[in-house]
Amino acid sequence: MAFASLAPRIAVPGMLDAALIAECRSQDGIVALGGETMGTRWNARLALAADRDAAPLAGIIQARLDAIVAQMSHWEPGSLLSRHNRAPAGSWTELPADFAAVIAGALTVAERSGGAFDPAIGRLTDAWGLGPRPVDRAPDVAAIAAARADCGWQRLAYDAETARLRQPGGVWLDLSGIAKGYAADAVADALAAAGVRHALVEVGGECVGRGVRPDCDPWWVELETPEGFALPPLRVALHQLAVATSGDYLRGAHTLDPATGRPPAQAATAVSVIHPSCMLADAWASALGVLAPAPARALAERELLAARLLFRDGTEWLSSALAAML
């Protein structure tokens, strides 16, 4: 069903960066770039002067993403994450800056969400065939219990001063619920370092908007609404903001509840979080996406998250922080 005739709702940030808006140049154009990463695609729309060659910028973006994959992919056996997963009990892994930032963010959201987000559920995702090892059936009760015994963010020890992570023995990291968001942030930062301060970056559906378009409009992103929801469009002005969405409406059940080791039975079908950090938006969307409606709403309000939850009965809930942006 299509509801394009319904008047759109517009969400805007509470603050605008006057200096960035003052840089708006109507004579600039918008250049679109794209490529592949993390089993999905990346896309970027850059506000560029007509005489600037965009090809080197595509190389900068791809190199930045390739470096993140080399550190944090649980699909690549040679990645630093995979090597950490195979490391002997009691050993410590020195983390480069990207990996350290993601682990610090992941552990913060894990603690504040009561474990609804857990970066140490790699054994579970492996048991369900959500990683590089395919399975032909869902794991049974015994297999889930065995996998959960080797999971849990509380078992991780991270020394922030030395950026070292301890392997307690047999615990596998899976950062798929936070790494794409971090990658989008990292690409936007790399573009800014290259002098491109006005851009929209998307990695696997997670989006970061920096600055404004050449026409001085913000970068507009419309939150995706699954079929069957009779809702007006919700458009977000991504000016120094990011948005991440988690849900099962496209690929089916691919999110696991760390508390049960199974796909969540009562959670929202789609969760979107708007946040200055795409990494944190990604992690919080993942956390809210495994909780039942009441605790998900309570967590979003407690953490002051700008969040939209779409439930399986066709209803929508907006957090107070998001409602204030409308």
Pinpoint the alpha helices (H) of 73-225. Answer: 80-86, 97-112, 122-127, 141-149, 179-193
At 5 the pLDDT is 61
pLDDT at 3 over 60: no
* Domain span holding position 108: 71-166
Is residue 31, in this structure, part of any structural domain at all? yes
Give the mean model confidence (pLDDT) for residues 167-186.
97
* Confidence at 9, pLDDT banded by 50, 70, 90: very high
Q: Please report, for the domain that includes residue 257, its CATH number.
A: 3.10.520.10
Same domain? For 52 and 200 the reply is: yes
* Confidence at 2, pLDDT banded by 50, 70, 90: very low
What tens digit of pLDDT does each residue of 188-232 get?
999 999 999 999 999 999 999 999 999 999 999 999 888 888 899
Is residue 65, in this structure, part of any structural domain at all? no
Q: Please report, for the domain that includes residue 131, its CATH number.
A: 1.10.3980.10
Which position has the higher pLDDT, 247 or 83? 83
Same domain? For 80 and 156 the reply is: yes
Is residue 182, in this structure, part of any structural domain at all? no
Same domain? For 309 and 212 the reply is: yes
Is residue 110, in this structure, part of any structural domain at all? yes
Same domain? For 156 and 207 the reply is: no
Which position has the higher pLDDT, 151 or 254? 151
Where is average pLDDT lowest: 87-96, 128-137, 295-304? 128-137
Is residue 233, in this structure, part of any structural domain at all? yes
At 255 the pLDDT is 85
CA distance 229 to 2: 9
In total, how many domains does the chain have? 2
Same domain? For 90 and 119 the reply is: yes
What tens digit of pLDDT does each residue of 12-36 get?
999 999 999 999 889 999 999 999 9
Is residue 285, in this structure, part of any structural domain at all? yes
Same domain? For 205 and 307 the reply is: yes
